């Protein structure tokens, strides 16, 4: 089963950074430090912000994200839970349930998401994350119901349409996800992974030329190895073997240099 795009948001973008000359609080200082790549110093600044302002949800969230990045999942989860005791903060719900699922605690993840559907009544994410769990557990009726609930809860959430499209494609139901993925692309025209997912769905549906355009559009927005590999696979399916071979050689060379750079 192909992994659904954006199944869980592991990290959500950190907040805008003020000009260095304007930084007055530890939170503002932390934002500058993150921008500069000084992560240990940023963690200390965020801890100081929380000492001064214990109910600062964004500061606690950013600290949790930084801890999650270095593998301190339990500490991060505790901070997300502390946030949710203060306010129903959607990014904290998403990241907390991601950690719980990674740790195999699906029951607790579902409890948090079910609470979130009541507390965050206009948000699609809790519904499509519940759907993802149901699908992984083989409960396809519940999965489809929750994917559709995500779309009706927030019809302007492109990721909700994308999740439903992926489900329809994997299950070969309705129009195999084509209508929903088109709607997602209308809502997220600059999302490169969304265009790649569009290509995957169209490819699976046998619409090869349309899939080719989607992959090319994704690469025009943000080139990446995964999309290039999918495009190579598609070109071979179209019989364009020479073009596919040239692209594979270029991709292999790029990967080789990337690996060499990572070992420096």
Question: Which tens digits make up the pLDDT trace of 102-159?
Answer: 999 999 999 999 999 999 999 999 999 999 999 999 999 999 999 999 999 999 999 9
Rounded distance between C-alpha atoms, residue 30 and residue 124, angstroms: 30
E-only strand ranges, 98-197: none
Residue 210 pLDDT exceeds 70: yes
Residue 188 pLDDT exceeds 60: yes
For position 255, what pLDDT does the model report? 84
By C-alpha distance, which of 93, 121, 125 is closest to 109? 93
Residue 179's H or E segment, with its range, is helix 178-187
State both tokens at 178.
């084509």
Residue 6 pLDDT exceeds 50: no
Burial of 213 (0-12, 13-18, 19+ CB in 10 A): middle
Give me the mean pLDDT over the 78-98 stretch: 98
For position 16, what pLDDT does the model report? 45
Rounded distance between C-alpha atoms, residue 95 and residue 91, angstroms: 6
CB 8 within 8 A of CB 161: no
What is the pLDDT confidence band of residue 35, given thresholds at 50, 70 and 90? very high
Burial of 73 (0-12, 13-18, 19+ CB in 10 A): middle
Angle CA 83–87–93, to nearest 5: 60
Q: Region of 37 please: left (phi>0), alpha (psi -120 to 50) or beta.
A: left
What is the separation of C-alpha 64 from the centre of its chain, rounded to a whole number of angstroms?
Answer: 17
**How many angstroms separate the Cα of 192 from the Cα of each of 189, 224, 255?**
8, 9, 20
Give me the mean pLDDT over the 67-90 stretch: 97
């Amino acid at each position: 089963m192909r992994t659904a795009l954006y199944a869980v948001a592991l990290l959500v973008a950190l907040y805008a950074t003020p000009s260095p000359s304007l930084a007055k609080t530890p939170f503002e200082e932390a934002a500058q430090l993150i921008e500069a790549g000084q992560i240990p110093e940023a963690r200390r600044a965020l801890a100081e912000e929380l000492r001064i302002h214990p109910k600062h949800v964004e500061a606690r969230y950013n600290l949790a994200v930084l801890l999650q990045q270095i593998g301190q999942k339990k500490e991060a989860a505790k901070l997300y839970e502390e946030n949710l005791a203060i306010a129903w903060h959607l990014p904290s719900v998403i990241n907390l349930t991601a950690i719980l699922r990674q740790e195999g605690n699906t029951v607790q993840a579902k409890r948090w998401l079910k609470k979130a559907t009541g507390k965050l009544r206009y948000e699609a994410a809790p519904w499509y994350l519940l759907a993802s769990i149901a699908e992984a557990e083989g409960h396809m009726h519940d999965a489809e119901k929750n994917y559709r609930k995500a779309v009706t809860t927030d019809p302007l959430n492109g990721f909700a349409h994308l999740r439903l499209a992926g489900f329809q494609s994997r299950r070969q139901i309705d129009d195999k996800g084509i209508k929903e993925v088109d709607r997602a692309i209308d809502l997220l025209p600059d999302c490169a992974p969304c265009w790649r997912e569009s290509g995957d769905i169209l490819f699976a549906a046998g619409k090869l030329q349309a899939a080719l355009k989607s992959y090319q559009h994704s690469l025009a927005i943000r080139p990446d190895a995964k999309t290039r590999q999918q495009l190579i696979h598609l070109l071979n399916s179209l019989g364009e073997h020479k073009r596919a071979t040239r692209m594979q050689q270029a991709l292999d060379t790029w990967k080789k240099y990337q690996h060499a750079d990572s070992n420096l």
